A = this chain, B = another copy of it.
Amino acid sequence: MKPGDHVQVKTKKETIKGILMPQQGSFVVIKLKNGYNMGIDKKKVVKIKKIKSGKGIGKIKTKKVKQKKDLPKVTFIATGGTIGTHVDYKTGGVFMCRTPEEILATTPKLANIINIKTLSPFTTASEDMSIDNYKKLAKLIADELNSGAQGVILTHGTDTLHYTSAVLSFMLEDLNKPVAVVGAQRSPDRGSFDGKMNLICAAHFCKSDFAGVAIVMHGSSSDEFCYAIRGTKCRKMHTSRRDAFRPINELPLAKIWTDGKIKIINENFDKRSDKKVVAKTKFEKKVAIVKVFPGSDPSIIDWYIKNGYKGLVIEGTALGHVPTGESGTKAGKFNKKMSWIPYIKKAIDKGLVVVMASTTLYGRIHPFVYRNLRLAHDTGMIYGEKLPSDMLPEVAYVKLGWVLGQTKDCEKAKEMMIKNLRGEITKRSDAKSFLF
């Protein structure tokens, strides 16, 4: 039996029919009729029966598409994710899109837009992306842009796409050209495959005047247009919709159609230039997001201190609150054990950099509105001073790790955290950007 064969897998509990995919570790992977992959622990498999031969793993039948050498050179970096694998249901063949020809076979129109060079430095699902992966990507992208590429398209699983776009935004200093981060919510073998349109729009984006990292994905649930969203202001807001990636606290940079039309929505971006990109990849891994909620135990901060953490992002409520355990002037019991204030203070005294970000995602934190906020602010936690922060918790995390990779000095780190470096802190949010 080989990948591509139509099989029937029996476990004690169920019988699953589908197309055998390449085995992953201790799992038998089956492509179901609905296009989803299912992994079944080998230990649980009672029997596998072949129903019909498939054509196995192979190359996609490609019409030899000629790349047009006079088109702008764009480097295509594939890292894995839904966009990168598909099954041909007619032949039962399983395909990995890695070579330029294979990508052109999925989306042949790309050859009319850009001249592609393809790289595949590693294949990793987005939930397993690591800081080391980010470093490798940043170096690769800087090298490509500094040696002639007019732009970079990076394909990636969608779950943590917005972490990657944010971390690359920080790591790539003086970024002079467009970097489009692209994924797909549906695999290429499905009728609703969104990667094709995303890739075409990303290619057009790579020819544009923009300099910086942007996520280019479906703007609506149908195949109408894509949005290019700033890499530091984007978040996956739905588990499965094709238009899951949304801008937070600012409008998208641009609306892009497959015919190459680009409508600028948000003028606030850097322009393509001749600068040299510098990959600053140092990153402090001992950084974490800590979420507070009613009843949350603040002594967990001690765990982070004990384990050598250098920075924490507190995902607080609304304007930047943490439980103080101190309010309740009438009948409420004061519960000092529930107060986050002394623990945050302790962390800061021990040299950790602590940053506030709001769990509401939309809107700006503000330390001076209420007494309890002042209390939290007085610990030394960072809210942003003249310009209170509207950074996403995920972006604050990535920024803090990167900042602490650049400097070990707390005061310097604090300065960098409150400064807008890559568009991550918006000066004024357009009211229309709420739930855009």
A residues touching B (Cβ–Cβ < 8 Å)?
Answer: 24-25, 27, 29, 36-41, 80, 120-133, 158-160, 163, 221, 235-241, 244, 246, 285, 287-289, 291, 293-297, 300, 303, 307, 315, 317-333, 335, 338, 358, 360-366, 368-375, 378, 394, 397, 401, 431, 434-436
The residue in chain B whose Cβ has the minimal distance to the Cβ of A325 is B128
With A39-B374, A41-B374, A125-B327 known, 6 other A-B pairs at CB within 8 A are A24-B329, A24-B371, A36-B368, A128-B325, A287-B295, A293-B397
CB closest residue in chain B, given A41 = B378
Which of B132, B235, B240, B378 is close to A364, meaning CB atoms less than 8 Å apart? B240
Q: How far is the CA of A25 from the CA of B341 in the complex (A)?
A: 14
Contact call A38/B324, Cβ cutoff below 8 A? no
State whether A239 touches B319 (Cβ < 8 A).
yes
Task: Return chain B residues, CB-CB under 8 Å to A120.
Answer: 330
Identical chains bound together, number: 2
A94 to chain B, nearest CB (A): 13
Bound CA–CA A240/B361 (angstroms): 11
Decide: B371 and A27 in contact? CB cutoff 8 A: yes
> How far is A366 from B122 in the complex, measured between Cα atoms in Å?
26
Q: Are A238 and B327 in contact (CB under 8 A)?
A: no
Nearest Cβ on chain B to A297's Cβ, whole angstroms: 7
In the bound complex, how far is the Cα of B157 from the Cα of A372, in angstroms? 13
The minimal Cβ–Cβ distance linking A295 to chain B, given in whole angstroms, is 5
Name 18 A/B residue pairs within 8 A (Cβ), A-sorted.
A24-B329, A38-B368, A38-B369, A41-B374, A122-B332, A127-B323, A127-B327, A127-B372, A128-B323, A128-B332, A130-B332, A131-B294, A159-B317, A163-B293, A239-B358, A241-B434, A246-B435, A303-B303
- The docked-state distance in angstroms from the alpha carbon of A327 to that of B80 is 10
Q: Which residues of B contact A244 (CB under 8 A)?
A: 318, 360, 362-363
With most chain B CB atoms within 10 A of its CB, the pick from A29, A38, A332, A363 is A332
- What is the interface of chain A mostly: helix, strand, loop, or mixed? loop
The 4 closest A-B pairs by CB, nearest first: A39-B371, A239-B363, A127-B321, A159-B317
From B240, B289, B319, B436, give the contact of A435 (CB < 8 A).
B436
Chain B min CB distance to A197 (Å): 19
Cβ contact within 8 Å between A360 and B294: no
Question: In the complex, which residues of chain B have a beta carbon less than 8 angstroms from the beta carbon of A378?
Answer: 41
Chain B residues, CB < 8 A from A127: 317, 321-324, 327, 372
A122-B159 in contact (CB<8A)? no
Q: Are B435 and A123 in contact (CB under 8 A)?
A: no
A295 partner residues in chain B, CB cutoff 8 A: 130-131, 285, 287, 401
Alpha-carbon gap, A371 to B436, bound state (A) = 32
Query: What chain B residues lie within 8 Å of A369 (beta carbons)?
Result: 36-38
A36 closest partner in B (C-beta): B369
Nearest B-chain residue to A98, judged by Cβ: B330
Residues on B with beta carbons closer than 8 Å to the beta carbon of A362: 237-239, 241, 244
Q: Are B435 and A160 in contact (CB under 8 A)?
A: no
Which one of A129, A372, A397 has the greatest number of beta carbons of chain B within 10 Å?
A372
Which B residues lie within 8 Å of A24 (CB)?
Answer: 327, 329, 371
Contacts of A29 in B (CB 8 A): 371
Closest to A167 in B: B294
- Kindly list chain B residues whose C-beta atoms are within 8 Å of the C-beta of A332: 122-124, 128, 130, 133
Known A-B contacts A39-B374, A378-B41; A121 and B331 likewise in contact (beta carbons under 8 Å): yes
Contact status A289-B293, CB under 8 Å:
yes
Within 8 Å by CB of A237, from B124, B360, B397, lies: B360
Chain B residues whose C-beta falls within 8 Å of the C-beta of A235 in the assembled complex: 360
